[in-house]
């Protein structure tokens, strides 16, 4: 019972401590002010930037809402309010729990998705006790589902973030952690690129260089450690082998020196040895594991990672960078790394998981392959 009370108190604290959990937030992006020569050089290059994570966020949220509305909300343990006479809001409630052998369920409402990614259980409540009971059991049901890795991969999240202001109005609402982190960084990612002094254009056809931003789903440190032991990497929706997401809006631009970006990462270097290509993709992700030694194993927040795909039409290269900054809230470190490897040194191969070039592809992949095996 003590563990249960602590767990419930934590959920209440999360709700109480958050403002609107779907709101966008801007941070001051750190930049290198020691030299501004790159700004003058970059000003002659036209850059097209696209956020491809937005569609993944929207799609994952729609599918999650559809799933929740089709499923019966039957948690394995049922929570009941034990102090109904003192419960005037969810934050006053205290709970007892028991095995849900009678298959009690939450019913009478419908999950609704807002444009900002907020998922609300829409139901008219007659009392704070009824509302509190539903909140605890819906939250338990979703948490149980998120214990399954396939579920996390399918709906692109490891946790949910309850919305405090909604709870005060007897509405249970939440965003997925993936949505929360995306809303936190999406504007700042574009600003980080714009700080490079590039000529920003509105279409890939106009551009000398195309940059595409993707955010991985969130991972807890425990899961990252498990992936490390299994020699597996994190997943980016745009790099999945079954994903046909096309970031190249000019469908006719498909020649030997410019890869159609709609291809998956595994098909990216199809002209080369596929085994080596797979190793190169896995390598960039393995570099992420280097941060685990300095990250507390009991870190309670889940976090995501940033990937940037850079297509340089002038130098005829197509590279994918995966940054090793663990974004669990408002990470400034990743913006500094982007500034250093995209703006200050556009030719930097740091954080690359591939480097496509007709003349040097094999050499780069072989080097990555050697490093990847040596690091395991």
Per-residue pLDDT of 59-102, as tens digits, reads 999 999 999 999 999 999 999 999 999 999 999 999 999 999 99
Domain boundary (142, 177, 212) is at 177
Q: Indicate whether 347 and 306 sit together in one domain.
A: yes
- The number of residues making up the chain comes to 376
User: Does the residue 83 lie in any domain?
Assistant: yes
Residue 79 lies in a domain: yes
pLDDT at 359: 33
Same domain? 194 vs 337:
yes
Identify any residues that bridge with 73 across adjacent strands, giving them in sequence order: 106
Whether 12 is in a domain gets the answer: no
Q: Could you tell me if 185 and 309 lie in one domain?
A: yes
Q: Which domain holds residue 171?
A: 63-177
Instruction: Find residue 304's DSSP bridge partners.
Output: 327
**Mean pLDDT, rounded, for 332-355:** 88
The pLDDT, as a whole number, for residue 298 is 52
Evaluate if residue 285 carries a pLDDT over 60: no
Q: What is the mean pLDDT of residues 149-156?
A: 95
Residue range 167-183: average pLDDT? Answer: 95
Range with lowest mean pLDDT among 11-15, 44-48, 282-286: 282-286
27-58 tens-digit pLDDT: 565 555 556 788 999 999 999 999 999 999 99
Q: How many domains does the chain have?
A: 2
Claim to verify: residue 248 and residue 360 sit in the same structural domain = yes
**Both 141 and 254 in a single domain?**
no
Pair 176, 114: CB distance under 8 Å: no
Evaluate if residue 279 carries a pLDDT over 60. Answer: no
For 220-274, the pLDDT digits (tens) are 988 888 887 887 778 787 776 455 444 444 444 433 222 233 333 333 333 333 3
Q: Are residues 332 and 187 in the same domain?
A: yes
- Mean pLDDT lowest among 119-123, 210-214, 233-237, 291-295: 291-295
Looking at the fold, whether 317 and 237 belong to one and the same domain comes out as: yes
Q: What predicted TM-score, i.e. pTM, was given to this entire model?
A: 0.79
Q: In the predicted model, what is the mean pLDDT of the chain?
A: 78
Whether residues 300 and 153 fall in one domain: no
359-362-363-366 Cα dihedral, nearest 10 degrees: 170
User: What angle in degrees, to the nearest 10, is found between the helix axes of 128-146 and 2-17?
Assistant: 100
Contacts by 58-63, CB closer than 8 A, 24 or more apart: 58/117, 60/155, 60/156, 60/157, 60/176, 60/178, 61/113, 61/117, 61/119, 61/176, 61/179, 62/113, 63/154, 63/155
Q: Which of 163, 162, 249 is nearest to 210 (CA)?
A: 249
| Domain termination residue (choose one: 111, 143, 177) | 177
- Last residue of one domain, picked from the residues 122, 150, 177: 177
Element (H, E) at 297: none
* Contact status, residue 212 vs residue 308, Cβ threshold 8 Å: yes
Q: Which two tokens stand for residue 320?
A: 């994918």
| Residue 333 forms part of a structural domain | yes
The mean per-residue pLDDT over the stretch 153-165 comes to: 94
Q: Among 27-36, 140-149, 260-269, 317-326, which stretch is predicted with the lowest mean pLDDT?
A: 260-269
In a domain, 195, yes or no: yes
Report how far residue 333's alpha carbon sits from residue 65's, in angstroms, rounded to the nearest whole number: 33
Q: Are 209 and 45 in contact (CB under 8 A)?
A: yes
Instruction: Name the packing angle between helices 361-375 and 274-288 (round to 10°).
Output: 50
Residues 83 and 41 in one domain: no
DSSP assignment letter at 217 = P
What pLDDT is stored for residue 354 in this prediction? Answer: 67
Instruction: Note whether 237 and 292 are same-domain residues.
Output: yes
pLDDT at 28 (0 to 100)? 60
Neighbouring C-beta atoms of residue 230, cutoff 10 Å = 8
E strand segments, the chain: 46-51, 77-81, 95-99, 110-113, 119-122, 160-162, 172-176, 199-201, 209-215, 306-312, 317-322, 352-356
If asked whether residues 36 and 116 sit together in one domain, one would say no
In-domain check, residue 201: yes
């Amino acid at each position: 019972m003590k563990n249960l009370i602590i767990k419930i108190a934590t959920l209440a604290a999360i709700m109480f401590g958050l403002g609107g959990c779907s709101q966008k937030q801007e941070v001051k992006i750190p930049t290198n002010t020691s030299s501004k020569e790159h700004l003058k050089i970059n000003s002659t290059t036209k850059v097209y930037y696209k956020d491809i994570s937005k569609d993944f966020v929207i799609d994952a949220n729609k599918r999650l809402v559809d799933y929740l509305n089709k499923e019966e909300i039957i948690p394995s343990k049922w929570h009941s309010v034990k102090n109904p006479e003192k419960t005037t809001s969810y934050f006053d409630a205290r709970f007892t729990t028991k095995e849900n052998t009678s298959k009690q369920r939450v019913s009478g409402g419908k999950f609704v998705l807002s444009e900002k990614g907020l998922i609300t259980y829409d139901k008219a409540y007659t009392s704070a006790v009824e509302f509190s009971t539903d909140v605890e059991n819906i939250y338990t049901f979703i948490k149980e589902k998120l214990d399954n890795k396939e579920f996390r991969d399918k709906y692109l999240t490891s946790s949910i973030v309850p919305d405090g202001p909604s709870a005060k109005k007897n509405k249970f609402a939440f965003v997925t952690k993936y949505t929360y982190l995306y809303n936190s960084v999406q504007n700042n990612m574009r600003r980080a690129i714009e700080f490079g002094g590039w000529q920003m254009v509105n279409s890939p056809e106009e551009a000398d260089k195309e940059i595409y931003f993707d955010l991985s789903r969130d991972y807890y440190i425990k899961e990252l450690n498990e992936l490390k032991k299994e020699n597996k990497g994190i997943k980016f929706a745009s790099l999945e082998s079954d994903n046909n997401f096309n970031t190249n809006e000019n469908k006719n631009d498909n020649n030997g020196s410019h890869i159609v970006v709609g291809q998956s990462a595994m098909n990216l270097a199809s002209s080369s040895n596929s085994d080596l290509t797979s190793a190169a993709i896995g390598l960039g992700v393995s570099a992420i594991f280097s941060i685990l030694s300095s990250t507390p194993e009991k870190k309670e927040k889940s976090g995501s990672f940033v990937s940037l795909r850079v297509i340089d039409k002038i130098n005829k290269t197509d590279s994918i960078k995966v940054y090793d900054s663990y974004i669990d809230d408002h990470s400034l470190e990743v913006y500094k790394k982007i500034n250093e490897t995209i703006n200050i040194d556009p030719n930097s191969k740091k954080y690359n998981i591939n480097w496509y070039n007709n003349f040097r592809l094999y050499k780069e992949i072989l080097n990555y392959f050697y490093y990847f095996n040596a690091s395991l």
